[in-house]
Amino acid sequence: MSVNDVTIGKTKAAWLMDFKVDSTVLKAEHKEWLDRAVVQPLLAEDARNVAAGKQTSDGSHHTVWVIGSASRTGTYDHNLRLSSRRAAVVRAYLASVLQHVSVVFSIRTHALSELRAAYLGDKDETENMAHRAVYVASMAHPAALPPRQPPITPPTQAIAVDFYFYAERAHWFNVTKWKGELYARYKHKGEVSYKGWFLSSSGLTVKPDDVTKAWTPSLPSTDLVFAGSGEATFPSPALLDRLSRKAIYPRVVGKTLTLRIVDAAPDRSDLVLTMPVLHGDFQLSQGVGSLGTMKPMKPDAIKALREAIYVTETCGGSMCA
């Protein structure tokens, strides 16, 4: 048996085995499997493209993996070159018969030398037809569907949103960690509401040497070391939800904080919030991360945050006498 078909689902795969010792010549059985499992599906797709008047694929593509192998006679380096040449022969065969198709495909080659034979227990200087082989796998990748756009209802009245951003250091079991949080305060239909997010895996880097502890609010086990505020306008409260799980780039230059939130605004452009540094003196790296939705703020946390903003605005970042 020269072909061991190991196809799983839509992935056509096989070991083309029993190459002659130290040979790279494909057998008739090898070519028959390649034609049936790899070439014919690509030619059929190409014919459908031609019939539909397409000059190129619709965005789908195919990847063909070709991995050469050898048995354990000879040196490792010799078998590495031999397995590489076997893979190259299969690649050249496929490329020659598929050179005129419009289907997008790629052929990736790799050489195992005698590693597979050794891993499966073959002793050195022994021959095994199963390892004088090339593994071939052909995988189809359908065209990616365009992202679904959430319906946007034309607003009846835009809402003004005040954003507050602050970084804090929190202590858990004598371990100090840093985190950044963003809160939105807005008024809709006469009711004041709050929404909160935290920066996760954000590349938010605080340099402790630059931090001067000046004031501690009544937040549990945390020290507020920085605060900023900014404004933005949204057509409706529901569109604030689009801030969740978006990439965020924080940056501080001098006394100005800029938060660029990618694909967050209603028109799908970036939302850029520019905030004055109200408290603390340190640097933020230009990192990238995401916003994760938090639970609504508790009343005491809202009060503490508002007091912190007030203190830093009226006292210039230092404690009031």
CATH number of 3-141: 3.30.1330.60
Cα gap 227→183, rounded to integer Å: 11
Q: What's the pLDDT score for residue 148?
A: 66
- B/e letters for 223-247, b = 16+ CB within 10 Å, e = fewer, are bbbbbbbbebebbbbebbebbeebe
Cα gap 237→157, rounded to integer Å: 10
Q: What's the pLDDT score for residue 218?
A: 36
Cα gap 258→248, rounded to integer Å: 10
What is the number of residues in the chain?
321
**Backbone phi, then psi, for 251, in 5-degree steps?**
-155, 140
Q: What's the pLDDT score for residue 321?
A: 39
CA dihedral 92, 112, 78, 29 (to 10 degrees): -50
Domain boundaries, the chain: 3-141, 159-315
Distances (CA, A) of 196 to 121, 163, 165, 182, 252: 58, 9, 10, 6, 21
Q: What's the pLDDT score for residue 1?
A: 80
Which residue type, as a one-letter code, is found at position 299?
P
pLDDT string in tens for the chain (321-residue length): 899 998 887 889 999 999 999 999 999 999 999 999 999 998 888 888 778 776 555 566 788 999 999 999 999 999 999 999 999 999 999 999 998 887 888 898 989 999 888 878 889 999 999 999 999 999 887 766 666 666 555 545 678 888 877 776 655 555 556 667 787 888 887 887 777 777 655 445 444 433 333 333 334 344 566 667 788 887 777 777 777 767 777 777 777 778 777 765 555 667 888 887 766 655 555 455 666 666 566 666 666 666 655 554 455 444 343
What's the whole-model pTM score?
Answer: 0.47
In 73-158, DSSP assigns E strands to 105-111, 134-141
Q: What's the pLDDT score for residue 268?
A: 61
Q: What's the pLDDT score for residue 101?
A: 83
Q: What's the pLDDT score for residue 316?
A: 44
* Strands 61-68 vs 105-111: parallel, antiparallel or unpaired: parallel
CA dihedral 143, 152, 290, 271 (to 10 degrees): 120
In the chain, DSSP assigns E strands to 3-5, 12-16, 61-68, 105-111, 134-141, 159-172, 175-188, 191-200, 222-234, 247-253, 256-261, 271-279, 289-293
Q: What's the pLDDT score for residue 104?
A: 81
